[in-house]
Amino acid sequence: MKAEYINPFISASAEMIEQVTGLKTKKGKIYRKDVPYRSESTLVLIGITGGFHGSVVMSFSKAICCKIASVMMGCSLITEIDEIGKSAIGELCNMILGYTATLFSRENIIVDITPPTILTGDNIQLSIPNTVVVCIPLLFEDESQIEINVSFADGN
């Protein structure tokens, strides 16, 4: 996988999370995931079209999802993600991918993104056929993490 396709996701995610929530992250070890794969309790799926085709699944544990949603909504720590909390997480991911698209455009790679789809549940299994899935863990200071799973159509 080419670094020029991965680096904008890393930069945009770290910058937007810190800007919106004040929480700092650092990049964990990037790796390729086998498909199908299991994921955390809250997922945000955003499609990518244009200069390349694929999708991004941002995976949040319940704890980090509640923490981020609480900060974004300006309230004390929530313990359950309701519809407003889901909306906050979806909007954060939309901002991250929008900024990612801007970073790609600076490299003359023009992409569009789809509106976010938010999925919740336990032990969710994802299978995106004919793709390569690259996982970018973002680690928070409290050792929690989110995963940015970037799926590229074969040939990208």
Tokens encoding 7: 């680096």
pLDDT digit string (tens) for 64-90? 999 999 999 988 888 989 999 999 999
- pLDDT score of 76: 85
Tokens encoding 74: 């300006």
pLDDT digit string (tens) for 37-56? 888 789 999 999 998 889 99
pTM of the model: 0.92
DSSP for 34-85, please give it: PSSEEE-SEEEEEEEEESS-EEEEEEE-HHHHHHHHHHHHTSSPPSS--HHH
Question: Regarding the domain delimited by 3-153, which CATH topology (the fold level of the hierarchy) does it fall under?
Answer: Chemotaxis protein chec (3.40.1550)
